[in-house]
């Protein structure tokens, strides 16, 4: 109960902060609100200080930044969910800045020494002031004590960040569970799963060994690709709160003039970026999901180098097949094929006719293919696809939403390098190669072997499954399923506790509204 009270109080403070930024119940929607929400808006003091002309999405972005690191991360996740916040707000949240003032180098030095279990001067000959600071960690340039010394980048977690995230994520999870209890739309949008995804990804980010492992895995998977490389991890100088990698001497992809001066054609860099991303996605099912310009460089050999592996995406075999077949179908303008891939993946209920769904897909594809190459967007296509499938009762797929969000960023970087970038011409070879490889006999054989292995594992449990089915059948014949008395008691007690919490929350909401009204009247 104490945890519930603490979460409810923090949730109230979050609501007040959002209201002060006019981001909870924005003024643009006030006229269409019922009287109860208009009253709540007044009680919360929504937007009395907002006279700056910002859009609702921009105000939400600023409010989340003021709430702290966990809320910045939530905003970045919501940027991938226009089905929850709407397209305009999602676009505004894409610009959410994960920047914070740096903490003192002296604190970073102590943290590094404690994490590595050695004095700092035994590990690094030099350790410079921070170059960049974000919500979770900051980066320092350093040189090692090796002979000869090596230049490295050292990433250090913020002091106390684990506790801060744990508290905020607990409150967000509480809010999500409450929303799903009260609102059917929240259940359809799976907001609890959304917060769970945020919590899981954040917990991984808070252990820098996981980021090191992600970098190592991507390097291993892409080692045969001559156009891409990953900085080498220095495992002897890496721990849960410290990550050390080789320093990258490269040209940032955002510096188009410097790329040209060094003899690199920005148009080739754009194609290289798109094909590398699709190769990671389709061939490997493991992709860098934070490919903004600050994380991308071109080295002396003309290779694309990525840094910062805190956010990675994975696509299982089914999702990769679905993605490739969807892209291939749109490229061929075969909308029935695209529709069938949705049904084969069980994403769209069979009660919707395939031909009707294919007709809806044609309404997406034809306008896009009728535009000049520079105006054709794969990210826009995916977004419209997700908007349409929602109308056909397709549940949100977190893997695909992260992919779509990353595609938006990749497309933006590619077009900054080449305004006339033809995304379809750049993508076709990768998609077609993956499809051909998937249809190859050896691939089919591997899939068959994998299927046999799954059946073998299932067969091991078959006797127990048969026994369980016989017991349940006998109980049904004898008059119904019987629960153990202790189990029945626990169910009843859980229900009573749930009812108590809901009554308490109703009381708290009324009390909070009364406090808000008093504050509003006074000020």
Mean pLDDT for the chain overall = 79
10 and 171 Cβ atoms separated by less than 8 Å:
yes
- Look at 248 and 168; give whichever has higher pLDDT: 248
What is the residue extent of each domain of the chain?
2-98, 99-247, 250-439, 445-478
Q: What is the pLDDT of residue 190?
A: 75
- In the chain, what is the straight-line distance between the N-terminal and C-terminal CA atoms, in Å? 33
Q: What percent of the chain has pLDDT over 90?
A: 31
CA-CA-CA-CA dihedral for 472, 473, 478, 484, to nearest 10: 0
Q: How many C-beta atoms surround the C-beta of residue 317 within 10 A?
A: 11
Closest to 48 measured CA to CA, from 72, 66, 30: 30
Range 296-308 average pLDDT? 94
Per residue in 56-109, pLDDT (tens digit) is: 888 888 888 888 777 787 777 677 666 667 767 777 777 666 677 899 999 999
424 confidence band (pLDDT: 50, 70, 90): confident
Instruction: Give CA separation, 344 vs 217, 318, 334, 434, in Å.
Output: 31, 10, 16, 19
Closest to 283 measured CA to CA, from 414, 407, 431: 431
Omega before residue 310 within 30° of 0, cis: no
Q: What is the pLDDT of residue 227?
A: 94
373 and 424 Cβ atoms separated by less than 8 Å:
yes
Closest to 20 measured CA to CA, from 518, 521, 516: 516
Per residue in 19-48, pLDDT (tens digit) is: 877 777 677 766 666 666 666 666 666 655
Backbone angles phi, psi at 94, to 5 degrees: -60, -25
Say whether pLDDT at 347 is over 80. Answer: yes
The Cα 305–Cα 302 span in angstroms is: 9
Please list the active-site residues. Answer: 290
52 confidence band (pLDDT: 50, 70, 90): low
Per residue in 13-23, pLDDT (tens digit) is: 888 888 877 77
> Which range is least confidently modeled, 184-188, 238-242, 373-377, 473-477?
473-477
The Cα 80–Cα 392 span in angstroms is: 20
For domain 99-247, the question of CATH label 3.30.200.20 is answered with yes
24 and 46 Cβ atoms separated by less than 8 Å:
yes
Say whether pLDDT at 175 is over 70. Answer: yes
């Amino acid at each position: 109960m104490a945890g519930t009270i603490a979460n409810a109080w923090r949730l109230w403070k979050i609501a007040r902060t959002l209201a002060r930024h006019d981001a909870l119940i924005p003024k643009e929607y006030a006229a269409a609100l019922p009287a109860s929400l208009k009253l709540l808006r007044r009680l919360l003091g929504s937007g009395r200080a907002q006279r700056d002309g910002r859009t609702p999405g921009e105000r939400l972005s600023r409010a989340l930044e003021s709430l702290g690191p966990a809320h910045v991360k939530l905003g970045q996740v919501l940027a991938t969910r226009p089905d929850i916040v709407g397209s305009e707000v999602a676009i505004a949240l894409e610009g959410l800045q994960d920047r914070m003032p740096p903490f003192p180098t002296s604190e970073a030095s102590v943290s590094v020494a404690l994490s590595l279990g050695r004095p700092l001067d035994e590990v690094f000959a030099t350790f410079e002031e921070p170059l960049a600071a974000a919500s979770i960690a900051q980066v320092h340039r350093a040189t090692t004590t090796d002979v000869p010394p090596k230049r490295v980048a050292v990433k250090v977690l913020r002091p106390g960040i684990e506790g801060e995230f744990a508290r905020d994520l607990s409150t967000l999870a509480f809010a999500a569970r409450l929303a799903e209890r009260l609102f059917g739309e929240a259940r359809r949008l799976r907001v609890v799963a959304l917060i769970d995804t945020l919590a899981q990804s954040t917990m991984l980010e808070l252990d820098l060994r996981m980021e090191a492992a992600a970098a190592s895995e991507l390097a291993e998977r892409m080692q045969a690709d001559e156009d891409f490389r990953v900085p080498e991890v220095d495992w002897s100088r890496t721990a849960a709160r410290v990550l050390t990698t080789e320093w990258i001497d490269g040209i940032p992809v955002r510096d188009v003039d410097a790329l040209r001066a060094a003899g690199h054609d920005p148009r080739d860099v754009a194609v290289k970026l798109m094909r590398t991303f699709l190769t990671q996605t389709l061939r490997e099912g493991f992709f860098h999901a934070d490919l903004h310009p600050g994380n991308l460089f071109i080295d002396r050999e003309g290779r694309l180098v990525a840094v910062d592996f805190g956010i990675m995406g994975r696509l299982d075999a089914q999702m990769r097949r679905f993605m490739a077949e969807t892209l291939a179908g749109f490229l061929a303008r075969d909308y029935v094929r695209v529709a069938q891939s949705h049904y084969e993946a069980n994403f769209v209920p069979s009660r919707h006719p395939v031909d009707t769904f294919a007709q809806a897909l044609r309404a997406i594809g034809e306008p896009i293919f009728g535009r000049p190459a520079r105006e054709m967007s794969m990210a826009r296509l995916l977004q419209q696809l997700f908007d349409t499938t929602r109308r056909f009762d397709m549940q949100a797929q977190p893997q695909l939403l992260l992919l779509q969000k990353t595609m938006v960023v990749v497309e933006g970087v590619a077009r900054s390098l080449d305004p006339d970038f033809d995304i379809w011409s750049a993508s076709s070879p990768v998609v077609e190669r993956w499809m051909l490889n998937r249809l190859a006999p050896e691939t089919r054989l591997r899939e068959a072997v994998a299927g046999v292995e799954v059946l073998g594992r299932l067969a091991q449990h078959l006797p127990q499954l048969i026994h369980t089915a016989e017991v349940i059948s006998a109980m049904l014949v004898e008059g119904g399923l019987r629960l153990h008395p202790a189990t029945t008691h626990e169910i009843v007690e859980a229900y009573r506790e749930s009812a108590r919490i809901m009554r308490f929350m109703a009381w708290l909401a009324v009390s909070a509204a009364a406090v808000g009204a008093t504050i509003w009247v006074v000020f």
